Chains A and B, each alone.
Chain A
Amino acid sequence: DQQVKQNSPSLSVQEGRISILNCDYTNSMFDYFLWYKKYPAEGPTFLISISSIKDKNEDGRFTVFLNKSAKHLSLHIVPSQPGDSAVYFCAASASGYSTLTFGKGTMLLVSP
């Protein structure tokens, strides 16, 4: 049973446009959500996170939105750049637990 779902395996966007990556979760105990970016042959690198007490967190070109009632979060990248091309993983955790539950990832391709 997948507790964190990223239903789009891939996404193609033109440079300068907005990229929107989506993530759904089923476990109501999750209260902290993270996005990681992964390039081939490298480990995932942390991008941005959000606590369940917030509905939005912004860091430069990256914004994460959380809709707790829908158990849905999204990552917006504006403007998208070719260097953003990577696999993006959504992850979730519950207070008191140190494990992260990951989605299967979305491969983003930003074309010039």
Chain B
Amino acid sequence: KAGVTQTPRYLIKTRGQQVTLSCSPISGHRSVSWYQQTPGQGLQFLFEYFSETQRNKGNFPGRFSGRQFSNSRSEMNVSTLELGDSALYLCASSLVGTGSGEQFFGPGTRLTVL
């Protein structure tokens, strides 16, 4: 079974631009979560989608948004990029998205904002 895939793997943008990241979950997984990892901050939860609906949202500004398609693939968008948005963005999928299930992570997208 293929794992979680994320595209692109690396991205360089400049301040003020916007970016869209893509995530394809493991086949059959309906929950997709997004996390931001920055040095010294660990993984911070951005949002979670389940059956095309945003079910939970972390404490991030409205510049961060996402969506999920009917095939469970998900995209996240960051508008008006700031230098502090430079980070590794990780997508994770799980079977039913309950609190007792492990999440499977993709390799991440490394975003650099210049």
Query: Which of these binds chain B: A55-63, A69-77, A99-107?
Result: A99-107
Note all chain A residues with C-beta closer than 8 A to B106: 43
Q: What's the interface size class on A, roughly?
A: 20 to 34
Q: Tell me the smallest distance from the CB of B112 to a CB of chain A, in Å.
A: 14
In angstroms, how far is the closest chain A Cβ from the Cβ of B95? 10
A residues within 8 A CB of B97?
Answer: 98
Band of interface residues on B:
20 to 34
> Which chain A residues border B41 with CB–CB below 8 Å?
104
- Chain A residues with CB under 8 A of B42: 6, 89, 102-105
Let me know if A104 and B45 touch, CB within 8 A.
Answer: no
What residues on A are CB-neighbors of B102 within 8 Å?
34, 46, 49
* A-B pairs with lowest CB-CB distance, top 9: A43-B105, A104-B42, A98-B97, A93-B99, A102-B43, A46-B102, A97-B99, A102-B42, A44-B105
